[in-house]
Amino acid sequence: MSWKKHSWAGWGRVQSATGELARPERSAALAPLATEAPAIGNCRSYGDAALVSEGRAITMTRLDKILLFDEADGVIHVEAGATIADLARILAPKGFLPAVMPGTGFATIGGCIAMDVHGKNHHGAGSFGQHVTEITLASGKVLTPDDPLFKATVGGLGQTGPIASAKLKLLRAKVDVMMVTERRAETLESFLDRLDESEATYTVGWIDATATGEALGRGILEEGETGAGLVPPAKRGRKVPFNAPGWALAAPVVRLFNKLYYGRVPAAGRTLVKPIDDFFFPLDRIHDWNKLYGKKGFHQFQCVVPVTARGTLRSMLEAIATSGLASPLAVLKRMGPGRAGHLSFPMEGYTLAVDFRNRTGTRGLISELIAEAKAAGGRIYFAKDSVARAEDIPGMYPELAEWAEAVNAGDPEHHYETDLTKRLSLRSAK
Amino acid sequence: MTETWILLGAASSMARAMARQLAGEGANLVLAGRDMADLEAQATDLALRGAASAKAARFDARDAATFASIIEAAETLAGEGPINCAVFVGSMPPQEAIDADPSLIDGTVTDSFTGPARFLQMLAPKLEAKGKGLVIGVGSVAGDRGRIGNYVYGAAKSGIATYLSGLRNRLGRSGVHVMTVKPGFVDTAMTWDVEGMFLVASPAQVAAHMLKKGRKGRNVLYTPFFWRYIMAIIRSVPEPIFKKLSV
């Protein structure tokens, strides 16, 4: 297998790496690489989770076949490089969906496992890994959920080695469209109450991270149910052709945009029919939307805090709104307890995700937010982080040492380390 | 009517991309190549993506005994319908390896020229009998001019291009179209670690372009399109100058 010198970046485009990549085109070419380097997918992690500076990584995107579909049991066996959107597109007409879908359809199955991703149905369906019934590593080792290495692999940041394929238990649903109800929440308290009370299968809240005073924490709650009916014609994806200028996301522009975005939903709420992709992967229609932040890129902060920590959310939002650094992309969601690996992100509580332009003060603000999340008994999401320091992590992830022991036993020479695991010294945890 | 396609060299990235598009159109697919495990997996995948049927078949350009059963399989699937064939096979050992071991020339020419040509020669009468069908043969811009970096591969690709030109002349008389494709830089395993690549096209783009133009009756297709102009310039360089260049 040939290695190619390459520079690549995380989705936030703040962090990048120069290293060597191999891209096996067939599974026969993957096996010999199994012990050499960690695998990467479509690099939709915002920070450095998919980066290996001055090292090697295996690009899995060409290994994207469906190996078996068992319609009777609702199980699919799929190679790790297949994307969630690809699966959804193939399965929906057959009356199935991936049980958990993250916010971008470009995420690969391997990536979804390595991050134990969650979706808009986390409160009911749990995390991605809870629907994985079997993982085949590139080494040939087959892991089932009762194998100790399974918990180190799910949410395990690729540190147990490249995943070749996985079996997923699917959701049986007749899905042509999504029925989406949008309602305004005028204050943070009412927003959180509505999230708690919602009985919808899929929920997500857009939050106006620039609103202050009375309006602090206002937003729009979206509740979705799958539906059968006429499918609106698919729209062609649009591309962002160049890096946006710096003022495009300046504070006054974002405030105005958010005001209009909030106002577009009538006070009484509304229900609409949306194509599946538009509801689950709203940003995927605009390819390379990360270029909207300009050359300097952006950071995303995502944390989850326990349900008792409403005060923490308020104080976080105050800091965010007054900073003038927030973008229109901010999400508030209720999480259930479901998680499948030692380092899985989810916990029962509220998760807040906010994108920030990369400017003076951004890192400092995010550092404060990380400290607040930790003090409240919450944690940050490795798929998004680009700012945390090694000392921030241990209290957040109680099973970190157990995980480190398991992955170090399987990879004593640390071939699978990434820039993320090194930056946060995750594998040195005791 | 359902189309039946033979894809020779079906494990290659361009063939895989074409197979996915054809599966979406509901075609019968015969996936011919050497890595049977991969082809069997592809067949399952393509059936789920909409192919009317997908079947793995062993093809080795260096073993003509594998040819006949592939053609039979396609005939069975096609019934009265048309049989089309796209040829992606070829091999490109580094020129230095060939310099060190000239016997590598034989395999390169068999993989890229005489093997697929012999297969098409066996297929030709069947297509003539049907009086319809499309053959897409993948040559290379490397075949347009002998260059210092890969002239053995280039010579083999030039050979298949001339063969395809003749086959087009023959089969056109009975309503079967033959298109020669000359891809520029495509993002495949062959170009992965080659330095100096520019304007690299994805296999999906190239495959879609081939199908579209082949169906419209194009004879020779450079893909992406601008390679036609790049190669026009390269072909126009006079030999006394060209022999001193290392392009």
Structure tokens at B24: 């979406």
Give B97-111 pLDDT, tens digit per residue.
999 999 999 999 999
A257 touching B (Cβ < 8 Å): no
The alpha carbon torsion through A99, A105, A107, A109 (nearest 10 deg) reads: 40
B233 touching A (Cβ < 8 Å): no
Query: What's the pLDDT at A227?
Result: 86
Pairwise CB contact (< 8 Å): B193 & A26: no
Report chain B residues whose CB lies below 8 A from the CB of A62.
13
Give B79-99 pLDDT, tens digit per residue.
999 999 999 999 999 899 999
> How many Cβ atoms from other residues are within 10 Å of residue B229's Cβ?
10
Pairwise CB contact (< 8 Å): A25 & B37: no
Q: How far apart are CA A129 and CA A416, in angstroms?
A: 20
Per-position DSSP letters for A153-199, written without gaps between them: HTTSTTTT--EEEEEEEEEE---SEEEEEEEEE-SHHHHHHHHHH--
Query: What's the pLDDT at A233?
Result: 56
Structure tokens at B189: 């395993």
Question: Which of B209, B207, B145, B215 shows the shortest CA–CA distance to B177?
Answer: B215
Pairwise CB contact (< 8 Å): B192 & A62: no
Query: What's the pLDDT at A243?
Result: 84
B199 touching A (Cβ < 8 Å): no
B196 touching A (Cβ < 8 Å): no
Chain A: nearest CA to B238, how far in angstroms? Answer: 35
Pairwise CB contact (< 8 Å): B189 & A4: no
Confidence tier at B193 by pLDDT (50, 70, 90): confident
B48 touching A (Cβ < 8 Å): yes
Chain A: nearest CA to B101, how far in angstroms? Answer: 21
Chain A: nearest CA to B52, how far in angstroms? Answer: 15
Pairwise CB contact (< 8 Å): A62 & B13: yes
Report chain A residues whose CB lies below 8 A from the CB of B31.
none
Query: What's the pLDDT at A204?
Result: 95
Query: What's the pLDDT at A377?
Result: 98
pTM of the model: 0.94
Which 125-154 residues of chain A touch chain B by CB within 8 A?
none
For A218, phi and psi rounded to 5 degrees?
-70, 160
Q: Per-residue pLDDT tens, chain A, 430 aa: give them.
A: 689 999 999 999 999 999 999 999 999 999 999 999 999 999 999 999 999 999 999 999 999 999 999 999 999 999 999 999 999 999 999 999 999 999 999 999 999 999 999 999 999 999 999 999 999 999 999 999 999 999 999 999 999 999 999 999 999 988 888 999 999 999 999 999 999 999 999 999 999 999 999 999 999 999 999 988 766 555 657 788 788 887 778 888 899 999 999 999 999 999 999 988 899 998 888 888 898 888 899 999 999 999 999 999 999 999 999 999 988 889 999 999 999 999 999 999 999 999 999 999 999 999 999 999 999 999 999 999 999 999 999 999 999 999 999 999 999 999 999 999 999 999 998 8
For A196, phi and psi rounded to 5 degrees?
-65, -40
Residue of A nearest to B42 (CA): A65
Report chain A residues whose CB lies below 8 A from the CB of B13.
25, 62
Report chain A residues whose CB lies below 8 A from the CB of B38.
26-28
Pairwise CB contact (< 8 Å): B35 & A4: no
Q: How far apart are CA A126 and CA A99, in angstroms?
A: 9
Q: How far apart are CA A24 and CA A62, in angstroms?
A: 7
Query: What's the pLDDT at A280?
Result: 94
B158 touching A (Cβ < 8 Å): no
Chosen from A6, A26, A58 to mutate, greatest number of chain B CBs within 10 A: A26
Q: How far apart are CA B209 and CA B222, in angstroms?
A: 10
